[in-house]
Amino acid sequence: MRKHIVAGNWKMNKTLAEGKALASEVVNMVHAEVPGDVVVILGAPFIHLPAVVQLTASASKVLVAAQNCSEHAAGAYTGEVSVAMLKSAGVQYVIIGHSERRQYFYENSEQLAKKVDLALAEGLTPIFCCGEPLEVREEKAHFDYVCRQLTESLFHLTREQITRLVIAYEPIWAIGTGKTASAAQAQEMHAKIRGHLASQYGAEAANNISLLYGGSCKPDNAKELFANPDVDGGLIGGASLKARDFIDIVNSF
Ligand code: PEP
């Protein structure tokens, strides 16, 4: 059975002290207020990760993600952070292919496939992001666009490997814009993604992969989004920076 997951993506926000305070607040609120069977993930900046891993150790529901990793295993790549380093810091998840990485750092499908392979080889769970820009949706080419992103970076994986992934659908026009996909638009795309995964790996495998929605998900729209049969949770940017908002989203199933 697939899991309900709410993952925060702090992006390049919070000093180390602020990040530690936020992680502690989230952990305290999870202990006090989150009764359900939900996986809560904190996607912190690289230098925060060891501290956040330590601060979340007492909460079995709270796990930690990096926001990126190198496409190389090790070596002379100044400034990069390898999957092995993340693993050695106690990180369990890694966000791969976020649209900001694709857009501002020109990450392409081939590089993302290498990152996914390295993450899986080290036993980390990739949170693989996909999603279309506004002009593609306006041309009504969004289903093909997103399915192509999945095919290009993921369809070399075995069935066993693909079921170890989490996939986040994040329409670029909804990220950080306050413009959320409607519940119907999210469900429609998630069903399409699951169907595409099923066409390659079979329905059983596809049904075991958690599909998250991301894009201006907030406490006031999370319930409606998460009520969809193919929406298994959310990847949350802005609203993950406030513990209260984030926990309200976590409790929206
Ligand atoms: C994101 O960047 O992953 C995201 C979903 O951001 P926001 O929630 O701020 O739109």
Which tens digits make up the pLDDT trace of 169-213? 999 999 988 888 899 999 999 999 999 999 999 999 999 999 999
For the CA of 217, the closest atom of ligand 1 is 8
Alpha carbon distance 191, 3 (integer Å) = 16
Choose one of 10, 170, 245 to mutate for the ligand 1 pocket test, by most ligand atoms within 8 angstroms of C-beta.
Answer: 170
The CATH number given to whatever domain includes residue 26 is 3.20.20.70
- List, chain by chain if needed, residues with CB within 6 Å of any ligand 1 atom: 9, 170, 175-176, 214-217, 235-239
Closest CA to 234 of 206, 210, 209, 203: 210
For the stretch 94-118, pLDDT in tens is 999 999 999 999 999 999 999 999 9
Strand partners, 6: 40, 234
State yes or no: is 190 an active-site residue.
Answer: no
**Out of 98, 142, 190, 196, which one is annotated catalytic?**
98
Whether residue 83 is predicted with pLDDT greater than 90 in this model: the reply is yes
Ligand 1: which residue has its CA nearest to atom 1? 237
Domain enclosing residue 18, as ranges: 5-71+78-250
Q: Rounded distance, CA 217 to CA 222, Å?
A: 6
Q: Is the pTM of this model over 0.95?
A: yes
Cα–Cα distance, 115 to 122 (Å, whole number) = 11
The ligand 1 atom at the shortest distance from the C-alpha of residue 216 is 10
Q: Has 170 been annotated as catalytic?
A: yes
Q: How many domains does the chain have?
A: 1
Residue 15 has pLDDT above 90, yes or no: yes
Place of tokens 């809560």: 40
Q: How far is CA 185 from CA 47, 86, 221, 225, in A?
A: 36, 35, 13, 10
